[in-house]
Structure 1
Amino acid sequence: MLRKAATGLFALIIVLVLVLSPSAQPHKAAAAPSFAKGADISWVPGMEAQGYKWKDKNGVQRDILDILKNDYQINSVRIRVWVNPSSSYTNGYMNKERAAALAKRAKDAGLSVMLTLHYSDSWADPGKQTKPAAWAGYTFQQLMDAVWNWTRDVMTTMQSYGVTPDWVQIGNETNNGMLWDDGKASLSMQNYAWLVNTGNNAVKSVSSGTKTIVHLSNGYDNSLFVWNIGGLIANGATFDIIGMSLYPSASDWSSKVTQTIANANDMISRYGKPVMVTEIGMDYNQPSAAKSFVSDIKTKIRNLSGGKGLGVFYWEPEATPGYNGGYNMGAWQADMKPTIALEGFLN
């Protein structure tokens, strides 16, 4: 009898230890800023590996995160993660370990962190949502299992570096779904919704306080958002925030901002979800227009109804003219000094 009682007590203790252990519980993200003024900095590690060094507007060489934070009031960063990327500094490189190291560096600098999970080995965007090569032959159930396992793997890798992301995008610019063709929204909105749910639930299983984002391009395109976001919700998808991209020109940015704000207000009214503009950019050689654009969209997103505008992120502002074979919407010049574009973030 005593042996049985002792055995039962021991088993109870083991169960309590497992249940109460911090590693057994979903972690909670630290409080995110009430309004994120952000920059996607995913090219930074590769640029540094190539020898790039940034200067501030006075020509003083400083750490790029220090410049972003202390000169332009950036309080958050966005970091992409690919499944099995190539070693290319520009079109690969950002595996989970490099992303986690960059996230730790940002956190140590006092910045909040957003992850963008590209469920691909390279760029996922409206024109391509290619499955990782290792997942190419999977059944749909195996695909969902892979999304679950990899998402949790990225999250636990982040936590091993001491980082709990504030936000995680489940995919990137998923205008027509993700992981084509299985998750192509025009072929099966339900499959797309299930994949979003799987990613969302995987994030929450590791960090219950991290907010998840579904992100589409062309924030001014209301019909796209009604079809995609509405379709997801009608098919039972669970996520926290609607993300948008906006890349206007110097001549049409004002009208595009007006359309994007109207769309954002419609999303809030229809679905009750907050909105975040997770990518913006404009040609580096139109710095005055870019500064005005940043200031305008920052102010109008912050003032969305019900406080449901959560932030604006500039995409890869550290990029110099023509980086990666022709990208010209960064906010640094060839002399490694910034344009005035990011001054639009200043209060």
Structure 2
Amino acid sequence: MKRRTAIGAAGLGALGVAAASATPALAEALGDKGGPRPDTFVRGADISGLIKNEDYGAVYRKANGRTGDAVKILASSGVDLVRAKVWVDPADGYNTATQVVELGTRAKRAGMDLMVDFHYSDAWADPGKQFKPAAWAELPFEDLVSAVYDHTADVLGALADAGVEPALVQVGNETNGGLLWPDGRWDQLEQMARLLTAGCDAVHDTAPGAKAMLHLAEGGDNGAFRWFFDNAVANGVPFDAIGASYYPYWHGPLSGLEANLNDLAVRYGKPIYVVETAYPFTTGDSDGFANIITDPEPVAGYPASPENQSYWLEAVAEVVRNVPDGLGRGVIWWEATWTGVEGAGWDPADPASGNGWENQALFDFDGKALPGLRTLGKL
């Protein structure tokens, strides 16, 4: 699929943290596109690892212990959206357009929406690494811009062919420091904006009913969000929504998340989602591979437990619901179905890698739905 229009960029945005309120120029650039709409509050679950888990023998159970299809269990619990990441050419063949289409089709059949999370990489992309796909490594910048558009449009086009139109599409994953380094790194703001614009344009052209979202980690860091989104606006990136990751054991107190999201709503007028959050239900391990969170009390006063997993979910959702002007639109639990199964580890290039996240899934070590899943469905 070819790009519809040439992608331009306005002047370079300020590098420093912007003033406390939106400037007239910023408000004019934003226009009326981000005004609140009567959307429902999203109760979502990232299930990017589900198909690989299933292929390696994972079993999922309802709260009563009966086995069932994980997607149907999510839907029956009240979850109304699933999130799925997409990589360009991963070594293990998972998290490609093929799996996104399968998950999107299953979600649709279960009455749920789909959110697509483009990493623009062959493996994990986050604030510490934004590596180009191998096939794009030597592309001149103009061809790299086209590759972003074409890849985004191709995946969304495959979904359209399957009768699935996503509700939300992330253009990049946790792009605090940019994407597709070094071309779109934080110190190449015009080029970063052009790459983000290419992805947003592909969303609008190929899935016109979806919101194009930009997503950062560190949901309590208002300075980082202002810097990034001020520059996105100054450079004309046509995004429709803002996504944040917030993990309470890494990203500071809830008061920081609240202050940041409230400020973003007033400043940019866009729908806001916490698209990644989690908390451990245990410090135990099921696969012999060290967990990422091992502290028995990840946040002081809140030991790892099923009850505190539910507590943090409710607490984050309350912050999002109270965002001004109804712009807080939902919460998504990260990798809700990623239970510990041999062979379904984190590294696509290493079949022996394990899962460091199974103690933060919404299914226990026997594959049974935890109370947190019901909590998510009732937010």
Fold similarity call, TM over 0.5: yes
User: TM-score by structure 1 length?
Assistant: 0.85
Larger helix proportion of the pair: 1
Question: Who is 1:307 aligned against?
Answer: 326
Q: 2:57 aligned with 1:51, yes or no?
A: yes
Cα offset, 1:332, TM superposition: 1.7
Q: 2:371 aligned with 1:340, yes or no?
A: yes
Question: In 2, distance between residues paired with 1:155 and 1:338?
Answer: 31
Question: In 2, distance between residues paired with 1:220 and 1:240?
Answer: 21
Question: In 1, distance between residues paired with 2:86 and 2:201?
Answer: 18
Question: Who is 2:169 aligned against?
Answer: 168
Q: Secondary structure at the match of 1:69?
A: helix
Task: Provide Cα deviations, 1:162-198, integer angstroms capped at 9, x if missing partner.
Answer: 111111000100010000000002x111111111111
Q: Secondary structure at the match of 1:193?
A: helix
Question: Who is 1:21 aligned against?
Answer: none
Question: In 2, distance between residues paired with 1:117 and 1:164?
Answer: 15
Cα offset, 1:81, TM superposition: 0.8
Retained in 2: the 8 A contact 1:321–1:333?
no
Task: Please say which of residues 266-275 and 115-124 is displaced more in the overlay.
Answer: 266-275
Task: Please say which of residues 169-178 and 267-276 is displaced more in the overlay.
Answer: 267-276
Q: 2:267 aligned with 1:270, yes or no?
A: yes
Cα offset, 1:329, TM superposition: 1.9
Point out the structure with max Rg over C-alpha. Answer: 1
Q: Which amino acid aligns with 2:161?
A: S
Question: Who is 2:84 aligned against?
Answer: 79
Question: In 1, distance between residues paired with 2:180 and 2:361?
Answer: 29
Question: In 1, distance between residues paired with 2:218 and 2:237?
Answer: 21
Query: Structure 1 residue runs of 4+, over 4 Å off?
Result: none
Cα offset, 1:33, TM superposition: 5.3
Over the matched positions of the two proteins, sequence identity in percent amounts to 38
Q: Which runs of 5+ in 1 are unaligned?
A: 1-30
Cα offset, 1:32, TM superposition: 9.9
Task: Provide Cα deviations, 1:303-347, integer angstroms capped at 9, x if missing partner.
Answer: 311110111000111122587322232122211113322333225
Q: Which amino acid aligns with 2:168?
A: W
Question: Who is 2:276 aligned against?
Answer: 279
Question: Who is 1:66 aligned against?
Answer: 72
Q: Secondary structure at the match of 1:78?
A: strand
Q: 2:309 aligned with 1:290, yes or no?
A: yes
Alignment of 1:134-153 (within 5 A): 134-153=135-154
Retained in 1: the 8 A contact 2:165–2:209?
no
Alignment of 1:12-23 (within 5 A): none
Task: Provide Cα deviations, 1:187-215, integer angstroms capped at 9, x if missing partner.
Answer: 11111111111100011111222101100
| More relative contact order, 1 or 2 (CA 8 Å, 6+ apart) | 2
User: TM-score by structure 2 length?
Assistant: 0.78
Retained in 2: the 8 A contact 1:33–1:75?
no
Alignment of 1:50-199 (within 5 A): 50-71=56-77, 73-87=78-92, 93-185=94-186, 187-199=187-199
Aligned length: 308
Q: Which amino acid aligns with 2:105?
A: K
